[in-house]
Structure 1
Amino acid sequence: IIDQIAGILSIGPRVALQALKNTKLKNRLDDEYLASLPEPKIVLLGDLQIAVPFQSGGSFEFDNGRLEVFFLKRDIVRLSWQPGKPPLPYALAQESYPQISIKYTEVADGYILDSGELTVHVHKDGSISFLDPAGTVLRCEAPPRRKGEGWVHHAYLAEDERVYGLGERTGGLNKRGRSWKMWNTDPGLCYSAEQDPLYICIPTCLSLSSLGSYLIFYENYGPGNVTIDSEPQTKGLFQAAFDLGMLRYYFMPGPPERALHHYTELTGRAPLPPRWALGYQQSRWGYTKEADIRRVATGFEQLEIPLSAIHLDIDYMDGFRVFTVHKRRFPDLKKLSYDLNQQGIHLVSIIDPGVKQDEKYSVYQSGKAKGMFSTLPGGDLLHGVVWPGSAAFPDFTNSLVRAWWGELYRDLIRQGIDGFWHDMNEPSSFVANANSEMTLPLSARHSLECTGGDHRQAHNLYGLLMNRAGFEGLQRFNTKKRPWILSRSGWAGLQRYAWCWTGDVQSSWEQLRQTVPTILGLGLSGLPFCGPDAGGYFGSPSPELYLRWLQLSAFLPLFRGHSAKRWIAREPWNFGENALNIARRTIRLRYRLLPYFYTAAWQTSQTGIPMIRPLFWIDPSDPSLWDIDDSFLLGDSFLVSPIFKKGAASRQAYLPAGKWYSFWDRKEYIGPGTVHLEAPLERIPVLVRNGSLIPMEEGKELVLQAFGKGDCSGKVFSDLGDGYGPWRVDSFTYSNGELKQETQGEFRFPYKHVRVETE
């Protein structure tokens, strides 16, 4: 009841009534559609009948299925089981690779395909084994089963095997022990610590055990579940089940760094963001007019707190009509943007996919006339319910729709908007009870590049393709600037187009603790640029909780304060004088560390390796590191151990092997092992790896902080901070009191002086 009342208050009684009507219609349509589908039948694979080798793999015909094994590279193999509709390659950035030759051998129980770096053993019953060059079996799979229009796939896990990834999830870093649904979902209001699914579901798993490691990506965007020994009787069993399509998946052996490198080669690397996006960003659902924005900007300026962006939530629009501006509340958005730019502040505006049903509204008129919106099976226009009430939804699975949608950003760009925030793109449509999903009817029709399909096929793609449409539009109109999009939803390949955040979280210590494993899991799913709403979205945090969240966020890629209406705005001055002073120092530190962050972001764009990494990244062979999800690595040098308990002024943290130094006072710690770290309210524990040179900015001076008594090294990437012009990478080495500098690139060195500090 409380949630229902909160929902009505947030959307208003008129829209709540429309949501009630929409719920009844959606439930009826879904019931009719599901009843029309045939009962899924289990079909076993049968025996192997024919095996045919080819240069890069082999084809295997069974009684009731066909397998193609194809080596894209010597350490990337694609397996495709048919029958079933092949996936459209939305997830892929690279579809073709130079052809390689592999060794194909018939053996007593099947066939062995050996690339020299990876061996695939296809058994005569359809089971599969993957082996490394030493002959160690990394993964064993049972013969898959056809189930209705989809497939069920089983594998056997080693006793000590950990499974990571699967997109945005609650729970710990290791995903063993439960079932995870593959269906992007708006949980409504805020989500609990065990809730599943959430906004970004990606069927990508990184596995790690004493036998080795590997990554597996299921290229299937239909509804599904990944279940990992969720019951005692299924211990050690991994199951991936998809309702639709062929069973296609990619196997990439470890170690984790190599596997992520190959995965992001396949699905795309996140582009280098504009430098301002790594600064502090302020947002609130409740900045309703220009005066609110100017008040916030002035507050930061007067209190000498740096600020890079302010986000405009849905109140800047005219009646929640996307791509419009309310002329009374924001009479001159272009001038507002210009004035803020003079202060170094960029405007980011929210865009939802739902287009208000209004025959006088140009976007609705255009989309309806050109056939840009999703329809019901009979051809009638589909309407859901979102903030403006009844709304149509663009069909982003049509390239013409993506081009049309991309054009709509032009006017906001001309008015000075530098970034876009894509929300509600699971897609979400309001419903009036918890038993109905907040999305479009399953029978909704989508183009799927003119192949045709329903919402079951298009649902998980919706956010990904909205982001693609926006990104490609920004590329066309802002050729001298890098697109920057923040998205709530997406699928595999999202990193090519957008950053993400952890959604509408409650302001609680429990949700603060959940931040770290969620962001680590996103990174291991290929999404390197993400963060939470500092302070939480729903609720009013205490000054202590706000500061601990801000301190954690200062060491994550996305550094944004955001909240809902009716709760304390996350502006630093709203939590008392002491909290203000600590927040000011925390945000200023982030800006001093921008050379480090920008360099780490550049490295991510080149390699696909996430900025935020689990501790096992340092030594995947150390089982003591496999389950740690209350600390993380930032880039190559930092280890961050946030504070998650009310009143805590210290904590225990496990360190990987080697020497580590406190970032704050250079106290030395030795790993492996558990150490005690002080954490007064002013700071959280941050350690630096031995031998690191941490680049920091102090005006036009580059200060290199050296940690360790031996040689120290580090890199600094520099360019204009936006666009596609010249760049440079400076590699520094500090040894025996002497600093050496090697340079690549043509960009002018942006600092007047370089100084080394050792204490």
Structure 2
Amino acid sequence: MLLHLFLETMQSLRLLTLLFLGFLVACGTETVPELKIEQQGKRSIRIDLLESGDLRVSYTTQGDSEHDSRSVLPQSVVAGEWEYTTTPGNETYTQGDWTIGHVVAESRLVFIYQKDTLFAEAAGTTHSYAADPLYPDVDSIPFVSVQIETRPSEQFFGAGPRAIPQNLRGKSLEIYNQPHYGYANNTPNLNITIPWLISSEGYGIYFDSENPADLDLASTDQTVWEYEVEATEELTYYIVPGPLSELTAKYTDLTGHQPLPPRWAMGFIQSRYGYETEEQARNVVDSMKLAGFPLDGLVLDLQWFGGTEDMGDLDWDRERFPTPEQMIEDFGEIGVKVIPILEPYFTRESEHFDYLDEQGWMAKNKEGNSYVIEDFWTGGGGAGLLDLYNSETHDWFWSFFEARTKEGAAAWWCDLGEPENHPDSMIHVSGPARLSHNGFSLIWAELLYRKYQEVFPDIRLFNLIRSGYGGMQRYATFPWSGDISRSWSGYQAQIPVMLGAGLSGIGYMSSDLGGFAGGEQNDELYTRWLQYGAFTPIMRAHGAGGIPSEPIYYTQQTQDIVRKYVKLRYAFLPYNYTLAYENTTEGTPLARPLWYHHLEALEAYTGEDQYLWGESLLIAPAMDDGQRERSVYLPSGVWYSYWDDQRYEGGKTETVATPLEQMPIFVKEGTILTTTEEELSTTDTYQASALRLDCWLSEDGSAFASKFYHDNGSSPQALAEGAFDLITWKAQPGEGELKLMAAREQNAPEVTCAGALHWVVHQWDGVVNEVLWGETTLSAGDDSGASNTYFMDEENQLLHVWVTWQEEPRTLIVR
């Protein structure tokens, strides 16, 4: 049978196509307006081809009712018809690039894209019923299972942030958000789970359900992977085809793009559990500034409203913080933003518990009364959970965010939203806690984002949130990885967590730099973690247990090293902010696995301790106690050490030194790296007026380019209104000369970045006879950096050129 051949000849699609076309000639085809397959009872399968080129597959018992999704954006369906062919026992449907095969007897599907089999179901989507102790009030609950054949070499990525190896094959995972206090490496389930899976075979699948589910990625049967979702008879999923490096971007097209962050969020943020008083907070900020640490944010834990027993008060404790408005204003004058914490739990002793109880706005027990978690960790007589599924709570809850924002709070730390303590017997207006669990934080994130658009349309929201679900990125969420242990194992967990999040559309995953829970004060661990943190989406130090998270409380050696990397973070602001622009416009994560740009790394590199920062930089932190050298896999091409320009041939593993004061950073050939030479103590003073452009030429002499994005750092409408500068730098080597070009693709006068450019050409081993900037001939000079001069550093093979630039395209010519 034709579909049998589909399965037997997955690797021989030309033969398959010939057989298929020959069959069509023999049997003919007809067209049908929709692809809908009726099953037993009232069940049916409907497959829609979307204008994006993706497929939507719906298993339903409700006929053609519209699927309601909190994660997926509205999708347009292609208006065309399907070509339909049938033989005894088998059917095929073709439209555009897609052919769908259906084995009728087994109700099993095969998905073929551009004449290549993406995957075949191992069995038809199954429905089952079973008793489950998590649902004691019902005799049995339904389950829906999708089983898909997997090839021996297939690898799987994504599924949200998880502290396990990036290749998820062989793992059994839960789709159920879980906090794990003091977790370390090899923790498979964390605060955010995303039912999105990327296959190395060139497809991604998003299972569009918030219900708890299990992913068995060939851990039980090495030939099959399975998604099983509980307490539903229906399931919709999206099949996203494409090159491996494009699947995350296509997923963000499906679920929404991350808005630009406020630029200050790309600076250094200081936090701890917690600053007990206004005096302590002021002393820390003053001491950080006095010690020469750039600083853009200070996070206030729950002490700002009193303490653990007062959780839910949502207003300043003016005994602890007597003049918060003045404190915020004073911090603002030196570029430091205040970020308070809020949680959705309310202790019995909190100011608002009785009111919420009277309104019926907390989640309930089976008797219909407010559910009080008696053993809640805060004390305060137990706590209730605000039922954010009840829309009547939204304006009331928002009123506190609004009031604090008007007082000057710049952003929010939204904690405990998994929800952290969520008994299965708790009931929301949406249903049982277990079925309302994964979507809870997503509702919270959407609430804040929507209200900011309505009330504060000129402020970019920064929501430092601990939990979420599919599509959370479009609500300006900047999550962190939860309450990690203060240990080397906790530190080692962070790269796979960050990369798994990034591949799942969450471009800004960060961690509590230095570690949060347990352990002891450890200068080396703190140093290494902060070095790594300089090249992560959000650089924020945090910790608990009476162990300081601020660098000023460590040894002088530690302070000096950490200060160097915090300043390096600020020097890289132009590069990092351009990565943010790429994330918003294209969906690419800031931190990327090596295979994202170098497919050979899928097989060549199986470690978890290095990554790409953008396309041009490879970051290889030291991640072990006492480590003074490490192995680094460098992908194909030529790479250079950022620190000393040592050349490395890619496609192999090298051993490099890792002295305590230095984290290995590599730059690929054919890179123009944009940094700033402005001395910044806060991003507020950044003007993009003194840019440094480091050029590592391609050894084959080919041209290359990079982009630089700049706006005012605060307007949510900057992209939509074209209020930004977008510049292309291009290097074009030629016979006996090198051209370095600067040209604007977009120029908004109100944010034009004009001023000094410092070009640095690496590995320059030729003589310099003439240097032109446009029509201006530059003079040979020294290393003082005088405008319209150049200097050849022969010892380090660096050619320095200093010029000024305004708006018109200009070319630097070196002969």
1:203-218 mapped onto 2 (5 Å cutoff): 203-208=195-200, 212-218=201-207
Which of the residues 546, 549, 554 maps onto 2:534? Answer: 554
Aligned-partner SS, 2:159: strand
The letter for the 1-side match of 2:543 is S
The 8 Å contact of residues 256 and 617 in structure 1, kept in 2 or not, is answered as yes
Q: Distance in 2 between matches of 1:627 and 1:244?
A: 37
The 8 Å contact of residues 695 and 705 in structure 1, kept in 2 or not, is answered as yes
Match of 2:809 in 1: none
Match of 1:687 in 2: 666
The answer to whether the aligner puts 1:529 opposite 2:508 as a matched pair is yes
1:622 Cα shift? Answer: 5.3
* Change in CA separation of 1:178 and 1:738 when aligned onto 2, cut-off 3 Å: closer
The 8 Å contact of residues 360 and 370 in structure 2, kept in 1 or not, is answered as no
* Change in CA separation of 1:102 and 1:386 when aligned onto 2, cut-off 3 Å: farther
The answer to whether the aligner puts 1:732 opposite 2:710 as a matched pair is no
The answer to whether the aligner puts 1:367 opposite 2:356 as a matched pair is yes
1:415-494 mapped onto 2 (5 Å cutoff): 415-429=407-421, 439=422, 441-448=423-430, 453-494=431-472
Match of 2:367 in 1: 378
The letter for the 2-side match of 1:752 is G
1:24-39 mapped onto 2 (5 Å cutoff): none
* Change in CA separation of 1:100 and 1:547 when aligned onto 2, cut-off 3 Å: farther
Aligned-residue RMSD, C-alpha: 2.2
Q: Distance in 1 between matches of 2:474 and 2:725?
A: 23
User: Which one is further off, 54-63 or 276-285?
Assistant: 54-63
Aligned-partner SS, 1:264: helix
After superposition, give the CA deviation of every residue in 1:295-349 in whole Å (9 maximum; x if it has no partner).
1111121111101101000111132334211111101111111111111110111
Aligned-partner SS, 1:341: helix
1:604-683 mapped onto 2 (5 Å cutoff): 604-620=583-599, 623-625=602-604, 627-683=606-662
After superposition, give the CA deviation of every residue in 1:217-273 in whole Å (9 maximum; x if it has no partner).
111111221112224xx1122111111221221111121233222211111111100
Which of the residues 340, 345, 364 maps onto 1:349? Answer: 340
Which of the residues 23, 45, 67 maps onto 2:45? Answer: 67
Aligned-partner SS, 2:470: coil
The 8 Å contact of residues 614 and 629 in structure 1, kept in 2 or not, is answered as no
Match of 1:220 in 2: 209
1:520 Cα shift? Answer: 0.7
The letter for the 1-side match of 2:92 is I
1:102 Cα shift? Answer: 4.8
1:260-339 mapped onto 2 (5 Å cutoff): 260-318=248-306, 319-339=310-330
Q: Distance in 2 between matches of 1:626 and 1:216?
A: 24
The 8 Å contact of residues 351 and 423 in structure 1, kept in 2 or not, is answered as yes
After superposition, give the CA deviation of every residue in 1:184-233 in whole Å (9 maximum; x if it has no partner).
1122x31243334221111111111xxx32111111111221112224xx
The 8 Å contact of residues 68 and 81 in structure 1, kept in 2 or not, is answered as yes
The 8 Å contact of residues 282 and 560 in structure 1, kept in 2 or not, is answered as yes
Which of the residues 542, 565, 579 maps onto 1:600? Answer: 579
* Change in CA separation of 1:640 and 1:286 when aligned onto 2, cut-off 3 Å: same
The 8 Å contact of residues 333 and 416 in structure 1, kept in 2 or not, is answered as no
Q: Distance in 2 between matches of 1:55 and 1:667?
A: 62
Q: Distance in 1 between matches of 2:56 and 2:605?
A: 27
The letter for the 2-side match of 1:718 is H
After superposition, give the CA deviation of every residue in 1:476-508 in whole Å (9 maximum; x if it has no partner).
332211011011111111112211111111121
After superposition, give the CA deviation of every residue in 1:615-666 in whole Å (9 maximum; x if it has no partner).
1111336542563432111112111111112222221111221111211122
Which of the residues 239, 243, 253 maps onto 2:226? Answer: 239
User: Which one is further off, 75-84 or 656-665?
Assistant: 75-84
Which of the residues 747, 751, 766 maps onto 1:748? Answer: 751
Match of 1:133 in 2: 114
Match of 2:126 in 1: 145
User: Which one is further off, 274-283 or 105-114?
Assistant: 105-114
* Change in CA separation of 1:228 and 1:263 when aligned onto 2, cut-off 3 Å: same
Identical aligned pairs, as a percentage? Answer: 26
User: Which one is further off, 268-277 or 389-398?
Assistant: 389-398
After superposition, give the CA deviation of every residue in 1:559-584 in whole Å (9 maximum; x if it has no partner).
110001322x1211222111111111
Match of 1:117 in 2: 97
Match of 1:9 in 2: none
The 8 Å contact of residues 56 and 100 in structure 1, kept in 2 or not, is answered as no
1:90 Cα shift? Answer: 0.9
The letter for the 1-side match of 2:530 is L
The letter for the 2-side match of 1:145 is T
The letter for the 1-side match of 2:544 is A
TM-score, normalised with respect to structure 1: 0.86
Match of 1:253 in 2: 241
* Change in CA separation of 1:115 and 1:679 when aligned onto 2, cut-off 3 Å: farther
Match of 1:166 in 2: 159
User: Which one is further off, 374-383 or 604-613?
Assistant: 374-383
The 8 Å contact of residues 533 and 539 in structure 2, kept in 1 or not, is answered as yes
Match of 2:384 in 1: 392
1:744 Cα shift? Answer: 0.7
Largest Rg, 1 or 2: 2
Match of 2:789 in 1: none
The 8 Å contact of residues 98 and 111 in structure 2, kept in 1 or not, is answered as yes
The 8 Å contact of residues 228 and 236 in structure 1, kept in 2 or not, is answered as no
User: Which one is further off, 392-401 or 417-426?
Assistant: 392-401
The answer to whether the aligner puts 1:713 opposite 2:705 as a matched pair is yes
1:389 Cα shift? Answer: 4.1
Aligned-partner SS, 2:439: helix
The letter for the 2-side match of 1:235 is Q
User: Which one is further off, 719-728 or 513-522?
Assistant: 719-728
Aligned-partner SS, 2:540: strand
The letter for the 1-side match of 2:546 is R
1:293 Cα shift? Answer: 1.1
Q: Distance in 1 between matches of 2:607 and 2:54?
A: 28
The 8 Å contact of residues 396 and 469 in structure 1, kept in 2 or not, is answered as no
Q: Distance in 1 between matches of 2:178 and 2:610?
A: 28
Match of 1:542 in 2: 522
User: Which one is further off, 363-372 or 71-80?
Assistant: 363-372
Aligned-partner SS, 1:409: helix
User: Which one is further off, 274-283 or 637-646?
Assistant: 637-646
Q: Distance in 2 between matches of 1:307 and 1:72?
A: 46
1:364 Cα shift? Answer: 3.6
Aligned-partner SS, 2:332: helix
* Change in CA separation of 1:513 and 1:414 when aligned onto 2, cut-off 3 Å: same
Q: Distance in 1 between matches of 2:474 and 2:592?
A: 19
Q: Distance in 1 between matches of 2:484 and 2:729?
A: 41
* Change in CA separation of 1:330 and 1:59 when aligned onto 2, cut-off 3 Å: same
The 8 Å contact of residues 52 and 59 in structure 1, kept in 2 or not, is answered as no
User: Which one is further off, 329-338 or 116-125?
Assistant: 116-125
The 8 Å contact of residues 442 and 469 in structure 2, kept in 1 or not, is answered as yes
Q: Distance in 1 between matches of 2:613 and 2:381?
A: 43
Q: Which runs of 5+ in 1 are unaligned?
A: 1-50, 430-438
Q: Which runs of 5+ in 2 are unaligned?
A: 1-28, 130-141, 679-688, 733-737, 762-797, 799-815
Match of 1:414 in 2: 406
Structure scoring higher RCO (CA < 8 A, sep ≥ 6) equals 1
Match of 2:147 in 1: 154
The 8 Å contact of residues 402 and 468 in structure 1, kept in 2 or not, is answered as no
Q: Distance in 2 between matches of 1:55 and 1:682?
A: 66
* Change in CA separation of 1:622 and 1:311 when aligned onto 2, cut-off 3 Å: closer
Q: Distance in 1 between matches of 2:280 and 2:52?
A: 57
